[in-house]
Structure 1
């Protein structure tokens, strides 16, 4: 890649620390993205995006200054470095180490690079999804399909001598099928995505994506209103992990811990979940959506065990929060683009598999709810109180999945729900998503096996007598 020479980078870092400061960092990004969308069987959007720029960060104690530019000329970079360093107070021990380039081999092999595929071929993917979904049932009234791929190259260098590069290639397809019958409208959704190229569609054939989205919509269209009660809930594997991600995961990020805004602050070693629960953040999972070789501060990707057998073992750190505690980063420093400073973020965060089979878990429930898929939700970060919508749900009666129900919501508290997980399946699955925090959005995967929460408040739409 080497768009910026080592000599130029050294000049920029020295300029950033010219007025003091303890640490300076340069983050270069070049990102090319492609997006196609289809609605009403017509291509609505064909976009190519190009992001190119440099962000410069200066740290002095707890003070952080950040500036960025999309002009790579030396004069512009030096001016940006001056702006980033202007707020720093003089510091006697300003040290700039010689840059030493490190190379990490990527396990994320890309078989079919997206830029080698013509837009016409990508359009065919949308058409296949659309036709497949519409062919399931005449009650499918609308199909919306969105395809996106991007290639992001980053270069990171800092005053401690770090000098590394990485390339991330991600591809994703999002399909929404809308079914209607009179006044009742239901939506089915499928959204596969990974840190791979166009070979995504060998693992997830477009016709299957359209079919599954439509079948979900039709199933929920024919479902009866969900009951309201406190009951056992079996949450399906995969995107069910969004509940842990939102209700607990953000509270395990070190900035929330250090601000005192997390219920998990100062609780390392304490029991915070049922002993069957082990929770992990792992950016090294090969070709997973939230994976990378290095984070956006240049630290190698790693696996961090957050909860082990119910006990809290660690938090997720970036460079700044780790420095504050005199420890190493866990490789969780992430940013949306060169315009943003890095902050602690999740990567691929999931509950580890247990020993029970999904059938054993469902068979243990006399009367409850099977949440096959979740959609949107709301979480109060300080407490972990949550409300999640069940996109596809079924009743469990006498240990068997019976009729589908619609309109169910799960209402509870994340930390309390972790204690109420009494069975954990052996069928771990991950699912992609975009995680938002402080105005930044980054790709992050969620995941879990099938699991049983022994009691959750289920809010339903069933009326008396139905």
Structure 2
């Protein structure tokens, strides 16, 4: 994409006013986004995005600039503009750039760019037909297929130069069930750090049928009672609560500025011994997985909480300076338009010893949240509010009637401390996470867990 000599010139220009670190991020991204509705392709968008980000550090000062002009003059101008915000007397001599090869732990068999859209449309129609034919009450099905190939070069004034290819694929299925004046929605959105083979190997019957089943089931749901109850949260996307309410609080973006309830508590007990919380970007072909982060650091498994003890944070290069710690390979960004900062990859609660059946059987009364919906959280406090897409009453150790309108309200760190049972059925769910450096693919995950008490917003009385 850019020659080695040009990259060296840009890095040198960025240091010309006394910066102590410079970095260049070159991105060439190809995307496809297809939508099918009412059995027909509604939109089909393909695009290419190319640009370069340039960053300069001086102590605890950071400056970022980006450009789509990849000419030598354009790049040197962008680098010098970034450098103008930095002043210092010590000029660094750029060491020779040493190319480092990337070990790909997420094999791709079929690049999406090499697959004609007719094959992609066939996959989508299969999902549509499966969901639409699930039940007569299904009135509408919407299917989105997304794939992308992102090629990057990352080089810096420490002499590092590395290239990477990232390929991701995702299918999103939304089903709407209608009865009289009532309408309910179901959704499932599996994804992977994989090529077109992901779609061909996907258990379409499972995912499409589940999206439809959720919508149909909720037609018969009773209003959820409000109050404080034990809550069982199922695996996979159930992990979104701890991603939002705890995971963001463990990112250096918040910790370095003391804007997190976890700041300054390394080595302390923050959860029961049965809770181990991990961020692992090395899981093969998972949606949130990476080979390297967007600062060129190799992906790794970061144990954040181990047997209830706070062990570490997710740290990027700049916040590592603030904290006096090392990067954990957690610097991520949406694109060249964003400076990287500390972000999650695949974050999950490790499996415990209880079976799902045991967890339900040991709950006299409570709420079972099978599938979570969207929510809001304050990273500084960990206070959250999440909708439940599919919920059930638990009574005398057995699942009861479906419930609608359930909302879980609480505080992430406090909820973490109230986890009293952890299942053995770890599962991951794909999603997109928004933060300071844009929207990025992440997995959230956990086995089934039970929280001894959560405030449940619903309809008082029945």
Asked if these proteins are the same fold (TM beyond 0.5), I'd say: yes
1:362 aligns with 2:392: no
Identify unmatched segments of 5+ residues in structure 1.
Answer: none
SS at the partner of 1:97?
coil
State the partner residue of 1:171: 169
User: Which one is further off, 34-43 or 368-377?
Assistant: 34-43
State the partner residue of 2:235: 237
**2 CA distance for matches of 1:359 and 1:26?**
52
Identify unmatched segments of 5+ residues in structure 2.
Answer: none
**Aligned pairs, how many?**
462
1:6-405 to structure 2, matched below 5 A, reads 6-405=4-403
User: Which one is further off, 376-385 or 238-247?
Assistant: 376-385
Deviation at 1:441, TM superposition (A): 0.4
Q: 1:226 touches 1:461 (CA, 8 Å); kept in 2?
A: yes
Deviation at 1:260, TM superposition (A): 1.4
Deviation at 1:93, TM superposition (A): 4.8
SS at the partner of 2:34?
strand
State the partner residue of 2:445: 447
**1 CA distance for matches of 2:200 and 2:41?**
23
**2 CA distance for matches of 1:211 and 1:277?**
32
Q: 1:241 touches 1:447 (CA, 8 Å); kept in 2?
A: yes
**2 CA distance for matches of 1:45 and 1:312?**
47
SS at the partner of 2:329?
coil
Q: What whole-Å deviation, never above 9, does each CA across 1:404-455 have from its counterpart, x for those lacking one?
A: 1111111111111111001111111111110001261011110001101011
**2 CA distance for matches of 1:380 and 1:12?**
39
SS at the partner of 1:248?
helix
CA RMSD of aligned residues (A): 1.2
TM-score with structure 1 length normalisation?
0.97
Query: Relative to structure 1, is the Cα distance of residues 189 and 303 closer, same or farther in structure 2, using a 3 angstrom cutoff?
Result: same
Deviation at 1:182, TM superposition (A): 2.0
Deviation at 1:302, TM superposition (A): 0.6
Q: What whole-Å deviation, never above 9, does each CA across 1:111-145 have from its counterpart, x for those lacking one?
A: 22212211011111221111111111221111111
Deviation at 1:207, TM superposition (A): 3.7
User: Which one is further off, 301-310 or 66-75?
Assistant: 66-75
Q: What whole-Å deviation, never above 9, does each CA across 1:138-186 have from its counterpart, x for those lacking one?
A: 2111111110000001110000001011111000000100111122211
User: Which one is further off, 355-364 or 206-215?
Assistant: 206-215
Q: 1:22 touches 1:91 (CA, 8 Å); kept in 2?
A: no
TM-score with structure 2 length normalisation?
0.98
**2 CA distance for matches of 1:185 and 1:441?**
30
Deviation at 1:327, TM superposition (A): 2.6
**2 CA distance for matches of 1:221 and 1:111?**
41
**2 CA distance for matches of 1:452 and 1:161?**
49
